Amino acid sequence: MRSYSLIAPAKINLYLEILGDRPDGYHELAMILQSIELADQIEVRAIGTDTILIHCDHPQVPSDSSNLAYRAVELMAKVFPDAFAKFGGVEITIKKHIPVAAGLAGGSTNAAAVLVAVDMMWQLGLTQPELQDLAAQLGSDVPFCLAGGTALATGRGEQLNSLSAFNSLYVVLAKDRNLMISTPWAYQAYRSEFGHTYVRDTQSLESRAHRVHSGPIVNAIRHKDGSQIGRLLHNDLEKVVLPTTPQVAQLREAFQSSGVLGTMMSGSGPTVFALCESEAHAQEVRQRVRGMIANPDVDFWVTRFSTRGIQIVSSVT
User: Which of 31, 33, 46, 101 lies at the binding interface for ligand ATP (CB under 6 A)?
Assistant: 101
254 marked as binding residue: no
Which part of the chain contacts ligand ATP (CB under 6 A), choosing from 98-106, 120-128, 206-214, 281-289?
Answer: 98-106
Q: How far is the CB of 95 from ligand ATP (least distance, A)?
A: 11
Specify which residues 262 forms β-bridges with: 275
**Contact assessment for residue 141 and residue 108, using Cβ atoms and an 8 Å cutoff:** yes
Q: How far is the CB of 291 from ligand ATP (least distance, A)?
A: 27
135 marked as binding residue: no
Name the closest residue to ligand ATP (Cβ). Answer: 107
Active site residues: 11, 141
User: Which of 7, 33, 38, 107 lies at the binding interface for ligand ATP (CB under 6 A)?
Assistant: 107
- Tell me, residue by residue from 68 to 97, as one string, x for binding to ligand ATP by CB under 6 A and - for no binding: xx------------------------x---
Q: Report if residue 267 touches ligand ATP, rule: CB under 6 A.
A: yes
Q: Which of residues 136-195 bind ligand ATP (CB under 6 A)?
A: 141, 183
Nearer to ligand ATP, 33 or 254 (CB): 33
Q: Report if residue 226 touches ligand ATP, rule: CB under 6 A.
A: no
Q: How far is the CB of 55 from ligand ATP (least distance, A)?
A: 11
Q: Report if residue 3 touches ligand ATP, rule: CB under 6 A.
A: no
Q: Report if residue 12 touches ligand ATP, rule: CB under 6 A.
A: no
Nearer to ligand ATP, 67 or 250 (CB): 67
Binding-site positions for ATP read 99-109
Write out the residues near ligand ATP by the rule CB under 6 A: 60-62, 66-69, 94, 100-108, 110, 141, 183, 267-268
